Structures are given as structure tokens and as C-alpha cells.
Amino acid sequence: MAKSEQERSVSVELPDGSQLHFEEPVTVEDVAYEIGPGLGEDCRAGRIDGELVPPEYEITDDAEIEIVTPGSDDYRNLIRHSTAHVFAQALQRIYPEAKLAIGPWTDEGFYYDIANVDIDEDDFEEIEAEMDAIVEADYEIGRVHRDREQALEIYEDNPYKQDILETEAAGEDPVSFYVQDDWQDLCKGPHVQSTGEIGAFKLLQISSAYWRGEEENEMLTRVYGTAFESDEDLEEFLEQRRKAKERDHRKIGQELDLFSIDETTGPGLPLYHPNGKTVLNELSEYVGNLNREADYREVETPHVFRTELWKKSGHYDNYRDDMFLLDVNDEEYGLKPMNCPGHATIFDQQQWSYRDLPVRYFEDGKVYRKEQRGELSGLSRVWAFTIDDGHLFVRPDQIEDEVEAIMDIILDTLETFDLDYNVQFATRPEKSVGSDEIWERAENQLESVLEAQDVAYEIEDGDGAFYGPKIDFAFEDALGRSWDGPTVQLDFNMPERFDLSYVGEDNEEHRPVMIHRALYGSYERFFMVLTEHYNGKFPPWLAPEQVRILPISDDQIPYAKQIQNRYLDDYRVTIEDRSWTVKRKIRQAHEDRVPYMLILGSNEEDAGTISVRDRKEQELNDVDPETFAAHLETEVGQRRTDVTFIQQHGE
């Protein structure tokens, strides 16, 4: 709540917990100079209660503050935001007719949406040369204010900036612009002090994007770029990007015939080929066993429900724009965006005693989200995906034990796949259901579990589900990239909305607490993460093809079938019987990332042995087939993440 004119004093809390007190409102820059003249000179921006603001931002109420200086975590965001402006200025120098929309920074760089100009990646060299000139000129970047009428005149031919003035900047007069040389852009900032502060940059790619992300709006050209403090940082990023491109799951998916997404069937609707379905089946069996061992019971719910269910659960109000809605016989139905209302309905079908709880359900449930087409990307963001969903209905006194048990299973899962992770505690979002009291109770319960288990975590303010707070586990893959994964979510709201109950020890009805959890997150994203993490070299237990037998000639095909049927009947084994040279057969097996190759010639057939080659290009001759089969049984049974036969049995 804003202070009255009589209460103009302001207190700010610094990152170390200390406080500064001012008799009247102050700017971020004032606070920096109060701490020390050096910090004042280095101040480029401030983070006020989590929001990044320019040095001129006036603090009128008590707040937490962090000063942004060169070298601090937020400084790179300023560089990238300023580089987006440098790109836009360079573009309009070359193409004066270009119309600018928005140009924010991102986790990997920046983008700018533009219209009224036809460019492609072949034009990047010319644009980058002009950007170099702007950076070299070291123009001062200044924040100025213009009255609304003047701003509308400046953008009388730009409907996108007019839209911003009427929406994000509605009611503001004057509005802020950032100016460098003779060029300006409507912007709240913050930015670096001059174009010369930009150390290194690179334009990366072009795509299309709808204005405001709405498909009914005009399609714009989106130019992506990145920027860093130094050439070394940029080169490291570009090398990481090159490696990521080599590991792109869409590329590997095509090479290994795992899946496809065909526009004729619809965007964001993956088709799993036999190889991909094999991996999914193994993942499902693994997590299904974990669920059954933890006393979860498997259920199944349909893909579509009447929207009355979604209104009851709260999804209709909170997810309607992302739902696929259908009109059937004058009734509205919706493809399910989540599985939880179905599970809550199953729980509600019978009477429960306090002795019956916890009740644990699990389902590999297909759900549907109507993402914008421009946001769809391989398996990472799709319209149809499957969640390895679990929902628990527990007594309040069981919450801590159940959440701890779930976290133990999640950690075992991550260890099985050799995935590093970090943990976030996500609190109430702006768009949510339920009372303040319920949310405070739920957040306190989850945080107490994290503290009790001594788990390192970060707080993600406002990133919880609309029905409750959550603990999220983010995967970290082989390239150090982070991906959303397992989750534990505490929900006091849905049991209330569904009027769920159990009979307590006092013979009175009580409200259960609902826990949502997933061990993978979604199969699609987890499949994507594993494909890129392993670079298509899936662990032997997951690999679509575990062993490929390579007869040197057609004469050894009967012996190959004998080895397959006698020793390897329980595994995914193929025989390469094409009339190729053995060198070509080996090369193809390596390209297909097959864990093991068994090379059979006349010498092996006469001796009753095999030659084993693995995808690391290691080879061991004169191997007893029984020895290899026994090792494979152990390697697959223990779900080891790599091939180890030659390492363990070689000289």
C-alpha cells in the first residue's frame, strides 16, 4: 500500500539484510551512491522486489533492492536488451521502411519482432556490420520522457507501438523512450550507459511469430541474436550452441527413426515410430514398477470430459484459452489439459475411512494444451503429451511423510538416468484459486519438508500451479542446460472444489489433502532430454536395438540366428543380412548408435565364439557367447547408463 504524504520516509533492504533509511523517496542511483561513490558510478540498474528497473526509478515504498553493476548476474540482461536496440537501429539504417514491434532480452540473448521488411539470414552480415559501427561509435544511451500525444505522433505509422501505448503503457503520460544518436525506441529499460559497453554479439536465426502470440494477428518476422560482455563468452556460447545443434533431438529422432511430427496430421502432435515407442515402453515399465512398489494403484481416464468438470476443478477459468473445446449435441466438452480432475472424481466414487488413507493413483495420462504454433518445438513443447501422473489423497498429518517419499522416488529416478538437477520451490501465482489461509498453509507444509530434508532450493515467486504451491526438479543435461522435469504439488483447493471427504477417527467427515506428482514431468519432454543428454546413445536397457549381429558373409547367417535364439532371445537383437562389406555394416551400426555389435566370421563359427564390438569402437575377440549374454543380463537388469562389457572383460 502506498504511503500517505505524511509518511514519505522509505526503508530499503540490501542483499546482506542490512537496511538504509531515507526521509523521502529516492532513486535506485541515490541508494547506490549512499552505499558508496564507486557503486554509484557503476550503477546500471536495480532489482526492486524482484523487478529489474533503471537507475532513475523512484522508490516510494519500503522495498528490497539489489544494485546491478558490470559483472553482476543481471548485467548481461542489460547488454542483451541494449543489443536488441542496436540491431533495430542498424536495421532501420539499412531498411528505413522497417516497422518495429517488441525486442526483449531472453535467457539466451534477445529477439526483435519486425514487419514491413523482407530479410533472411543472408542479410545478417550486412546488418551486423552496421551494428559494429554503432557499437564502435559508443553512443550514449539515454532515457527521455515524451508526452503521450508526441509518442502517438512518432508512431502514427506503426500499429504495434500504438498497441503498446494503449496496453502496457496505458495511462502513462509521459512515457519513456531510450535514445542513442539520432534513433529512439519506446521502452521502459533498463539499458547499459552506452553502445560501447556491448562486448560481443551475434545474430543467430530468423523465424515467424504472431503479434502478441495470437494466431488471429499478423505474422511478423522474429530475428534472434545474442550478446555477451566479451568475445570469449560469445565463442563459448556459440560452441555450446553448435554442440546442442548436434544433439538436437529432432535431428537424432530422424536419424534413429524415433518419431516424427507431420503437418498433415496437425502441429504439435508427435507420431512415435517403432524405435521411439520401444523407448517409451521401457520408460513406462520402469516408472510403473516404481509406482507399484510404492503402493500406487493404476487408473485410466478418458481424453475428453464435459466442461462442467473443468468448471468444477477451476481449469475452465484458468486454462480455457489453452484448451481444445468441442461442441457435441449442444453440450460443450474439452480435451483434458490435466488428469487430476478425473482422479479426484474416482476418489469421490466411494466412502473412505481415515484408515484407508493415503490413497495413491497413477496413470500415464494423455493431455492436450493448445499452445501457440510459434511456441511449438519438437517434443519440448507440443499439443498432445503424456504425463506420468500420480495423485495422492492424504490426511493432513500424512503430508510430510508422503512428500518425503515422493522426493526419494524422484531422486532415485534422476540417479538412474545419471541426470544432475536443481530444485525450485514455486509459490502462489497471480492467477490462482483458494484463500490466502489455504495458500499460506500449503506453502508452509512444502517448505518445511524441504528444510527437514536439507534440500538446497531456490524460491520461484509466483511460479506455482493455480491450485497450489509446488516443488520442481529441473534436469541438467550433458551440456549444462536446464529442463523442467519432476514435480510435487500440494493442493488444498481441489478437494474443496470436489467436496472430497473421509471419515475420521472421530466419526466425522474431514477434507483430504491432494498431492500431485510426476516423476518424469511428461514423457515427451523427458524423451527429448534423454535423447539429447545421451546424444542418441541410449543406455542398453533403453536402446531400441540392443545388439546387432554382423555376419561377415551369408555363410554365417545360420550361426547368427543360432546365437540370437540360444543366447539373446530375451533382448532386442537384429541380424544385419544385407550384402554389405563388414566394414560398411560396422559403420552403419555405429551411425545407428547400437550399444553392441557381434561380428561373426568363419573363425568364430568354427570356435563357437563371437567378437564383440561396442559403440565406443572397442573390440574383443574370442568371447564365449554365454559370458556376453550373462553380462548383458546384468547390464540391462541394473539399468546401467553405458556399455561396460569390454571394459570389464578385456585384458
Strand 297-298 and strand 359-368: the pairing is parallel
Grid cell listed for 464: 506455482
Please identify which residue in the block is written with the cell numbers 466419526: 507
503 burial level (CB within 10 Å; 0-12, 13-18, 19+): middle
Grid cell listed for 18: 542490512
* CA angle (98 as vertex; 95, 102 as ends), nearest 5: 130
Instruction: Taking each helix axis as running N to C, give the angle between helix 625-637 and helix 557-567, from 0 to 180 degrees, rounded to the nearest 10.
Output: 50
Residues 422, 427, 431, 432, CA torsion sign: positive
Is 340 flagged in the annotation as binding?
yes
Is 187 flagged in the annotation as binding?
no
Q: Where in 269-418 does DSSP place strands (E)?
A: 271-272, 297-298, 304-306, 325-328, 331-335, 359-368, 384-394
Is 631 flagged in the annotation as binding?
no
Residues 195, 201, 203, 209, CA torsion sign: negative
Grid cell listed for 479: 551440456
DSSP sequence for 548-594: EEEESSGGGHHHHHHHHHHH-TTS-EEE--SS--HHHHHHHHHHTT-
Report yes or no: 100 and 112 within 8 Å, Cβ to Cβ: yes
* d(C-alpha 530, C-alpha 546), whole Å: 17
Which amino acid is it at 481?
A: R
Residues 6+ apart with CB under 8 A from 5: none
What is the number of other CB atoms lying within 10 angstroms of the CB of residue 578? 8
Cis bond before residue 174 (omega within 30° of 0): yes
Give me the half-sphere count of Cα atoms (radius 13 Å) on the Cβ side of residue 628.
31
* d(C-alpha 247, C-alpha 236), whole Å: 17
SS3 214: coil
For 424, list phi and psi in degrees, rounded to 5: -125, 140
Please give the C-alpha separations between residue 570 and each of 289, 551, 626, 641, in angstroms, as whole numbers. Answer: 19, 20, 13, 19
Bridge partners of 64, per DSSP, are 13
Give me the half-sphere count of Cα atoms (radius 13 Å) on the Cβ side of residue 533.
23
Q: Where are the alpha helices (DSSP H) in 435-539?
A: 436-452, 493-497, 523-533
CA-based nearest residue to 551, from 561, 543, 542 = 561
* d(C-alpha 239, C-alpha 164), whole Å: 37
Report yes or no: 241 and 532 within 8 Å, Cβ to Cβ: no
Please give the C-alpha separations between residue 607 and each of 561, 575, 586, 625, in angstroms, as whole numbers. Answer: 16, 20, 22, 11
* d(C-alpha 24, C-alpha 12), whole Å: 12
Give binding residues for Zn(2+) as ranges: 340, 391, 516
Q: Which residues are annotated as a binding site?
A: 340, 391, 516
